[in-house]
């Protein structure tokens, strides 16, 4: 673990480590720069991410590659309709001496891939979401602390909705970012096919470990933010709340529900992290705008009028905050 004289030196080191991490992950993951950046930012900001994309876009490979480059333990949980909470958290069994012994579940790892989280009933979803929030699980009346750093990347398939259990808004709110994973460009797909249809495998170097990540998470919280940037972030969130004093006219027209205070917290943390990875010592309004889409898109609910007029969530956010056209 490196020691730094001050936070300025630490931010410089974070920016350099972030660039090295992206370059290392780029050996395996091709053409998803923004997705990789957002996932890494949510790890450094001590948040969790929800990744929405069709099957076959390398979601599992992405998170496995990140865990390899970060020198962290990784577990994948495939969510199915018959998955039980104990399959995630672990359970108590009787050992040979007739004493209860706790067997840890897959949630006891640094990075968890919760694959197709909307395919399992709410009871099982809640078990994981509680662990995300509290960083511990309770089994048989005993509290078990999770390994730190702890990061959950949950995935959802936007196409098949039959037999799924959509996450309620209150549970969606626990995710820092909602990241849309789209098809790669033609050139990127050419490179993907070239690199994955040969017998050579990229070997990744371990860039940083758990101790450094925890130190960087504390560093990001110590980064100062000016009052005008703080006011801007909180005002953005206030504008999404229909029929309130600060509401934007389009929010009242097209939204049935706006974002809560957690959105303001994550906007500020995300802006601080975005500033740090770009070598800046304090966030500005552009940093807030850079994280607004992934922070807000799962926290606002459109009404029937927005759906009838064909206005998407991202269009609405851009229209509200970036003076874009609807």
Reported as a single tens digit per residue, the pLDDT across 242-271 is 888 887 888 888 888 888 899 999 999 999
State the average pLDDT over residues 306-318: 83
**Domains (range + CATH), the chain:** 7-196 (3.40.50.300), 224-321 (1.10.8.80)
Helices (H), the chain: 7-25, 33-44, 59-69, 85-89, 122-134, 169-172, 186-196, 210-222, 227-239, 249-254, 261-277, 285-296, 304-308, 313-321
Which of 12-21, 33-42, 317-326 shows the lowest mean pLDDT across its residues? 317-326
Helices and strands, counts by H and E, the chain: 14, 11
pLDDT band at 308 (very low <50, low <70, confident <90, very high): confident
Distance CA 68, CA 193 (A): 22
Task: Give the pLDDT score at 270.
Answer: 94
pLDDT in tens, 35-86: 989 999 999 999 999 998 877 777 788 888 888 888 888 899 998 888 888 8
Distance from chain centroid for Cα 139 = 26
Q: Residue 238: which of 299, 283, 167, 305 has the closest Cα?
A: 299
pLDDT at 101 over 60: yes
Report how far apart, in Å, the C-alpha atoms of 315 and of each of 104, 132, 271, 318, 324 are: 44, 30, 21, 5, 8
pLDDT band at 325 (very low <50, low <70, confident <90, very high): very low
Degrees, nearest 5: CA angle 281-71-196: 105
Distance CA 285, CA 228 (A): 8
pLDDT in tens, 189-200: 888 888 778 777
Task: Give the pLDDT score at 200.
Answer: 76
Total count of residues recorded for the chain: 326
Residue 110: which H helix or E strand, with range? Answer: none
Task: Give the pLDDT score at 162.
Answer: 65
């Amino acid at each position: 673990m490196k020691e730094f004289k001050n936070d300025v030196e630490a931010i410089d080191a974070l920016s350099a480590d972030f660039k090295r991490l992206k370059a290392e992950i780029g050996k395996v993951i091709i053409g998803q720069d923004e997705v990789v950046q957002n996932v890494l930012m949510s790890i450094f900001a001590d948040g969790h991410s929800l990744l929405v994309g069709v099957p076959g876009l390398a979601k599992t490979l992405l998170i496995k590659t990140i865990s390899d480059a970060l020198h962290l333990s990784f577990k994948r949980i495939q969510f199915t309709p018959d998955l039980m909470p104990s399959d995630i958290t672990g359970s108590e069994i009787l050992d040979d001496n007739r004493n209860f012994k706790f067997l840890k579940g897959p949630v006891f790892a640094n990075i968890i891939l919760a694959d197709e989280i909307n395919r399992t009933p709410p009871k099982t979803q809640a078990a994981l979401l509680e662990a995300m929030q509290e960083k511990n699980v309770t089994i048989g009346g005993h509290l078990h602390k999770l390994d730190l750093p702890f990061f959950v990347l949950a995935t959802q398939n936007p196409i098949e909705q039959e037999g799924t259990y959509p996450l309620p808004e209150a549970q969606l709110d626990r995710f820092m970012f909602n990241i849309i994973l789209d098809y790669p460009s033609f050139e990127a797909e050419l490179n993907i096919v070239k690199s994955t249809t040969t017998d050579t495998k990229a070997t990744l170097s371990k860039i940083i470990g758990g101790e450094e990540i925890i130190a960087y998470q504390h560093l990001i919280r110590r980064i100062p933010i000016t009052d005008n940037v703080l006011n801007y972030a909180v005002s953005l969130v206030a504008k999404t709340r229909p029929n309130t004093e600060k509401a934007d006219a389009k929010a009242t027209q097209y939204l049935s529900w706006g974002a809560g205070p957690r959105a303001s917290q994550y906007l500020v943390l995300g802006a601080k992290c975005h500033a740090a990875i770009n070598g800046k010592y304090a966030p500005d309004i552009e940093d807030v705008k850079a994280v607004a889409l992934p922070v807000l898109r799962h926290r606002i609910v459109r009404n029937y009028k927005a759906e009838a007029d064909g206005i998407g969530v991202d269009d609405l956010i851009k229209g509200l905050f970036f003076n874009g056209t609807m």
